[in-house]
A and B are shown apart, each in its own frame.
Chain A
Amino acid sequence: MSFRILSDPIDPAALKAALVRGRAGACVVFEGWVRDMSEGRPVVSLEYEAFAPLAEREGDRIIAEAREKFSILDAACAHRTGTLSLGDLAVWVGVTAAHRGDAFEACRYIIDQAKGRVPVWKRERYADGSSTWIEQKQVGFPRGSP
């Protein structure tokens, strides 16, 4: 069980190979890629910034929640930081389970929660030279102060 923030390219084959198998009849993988368009604006690159130690702790908590909610064997997630180009792999989630239903649901849970809770920030750079920090509109940080 691990959530990792990586400043180097994600190696999906290595992450998948490390997942618990044997008893697993299903492996569901989600890959988030850098896309050329955001709300109608042409994107040329993304920059990710993270508060890495807290991001990894919060990410590990999300994976622990997924293990409680769903019948899965293993789960892992990796998220990039730094500048990424179109088509680059920004985030990877992999889940193994005895059956596909729980693997799909747990994978969905992990990516949805990660997008809204893990302290990672995304700056989009547009074709016209401008850029903006993106604000996720769902989930939100765990309750607390401020």
Chain B
Amino acid sequence: MKTVHVRYYAVLREQRGVPEERVLTRAETPDALYQELRQRHGFSLAQNKVRAALNGEFAAPGAILKEGDQIAFLPPVAGG
């Protein structure tokens, strides 16, 4: 088990009800963590719609989560 810091944006933040939280998890990857959190909180966005950022940068494919990591889950963007 590891503790990571999770931040949510836009629709995910609203659906979760808080902008950030600490999460104790066995998830090995950002994908697995999103699946776990989606089940727990009922997020509407499917996994393939959501990007993860790991420690302030877009997560590389296959990135592995470590104790204390900062993860952000990003819905599809819409600037401009």
Contacts and interface: CB of A to CB of B under 8 A. Distances in A.
Summarize A's interface: helix, strand, loop or mixed: mixed
Interface residues of B, number: 31
Interface string B20-59: 0000000001110010000000000001101111001111
B80 interface: yes
A135 B52 contact: no
Contacts, number: 95
Interface residues of A, number: 33
Contacts of A140: 76
B51 A141 contact: yes
Given A51-B7, A133-B78, A141-B58, 20 more contacts: A32-B80, A53-B56, A54-B56, A91-B79, A91-B80, A114-B79, A115-B79, A115-B80, A120-B79, A121-B10, A121-B77, A122-B78, A136-B79, A145-B59, A145-B60, A145-B62, A146-B30, A146-B48, A146-B52, A146-B59
Interface of B: 7, 9-11, 13, 29-31, 34, 47-48, 50-53, 56-63, 72, 74-80
Interface of A: 32, 48-49, 51, 53-54, 57-58, 79, 90-91, 111, 114-123, 133-136, 140-146
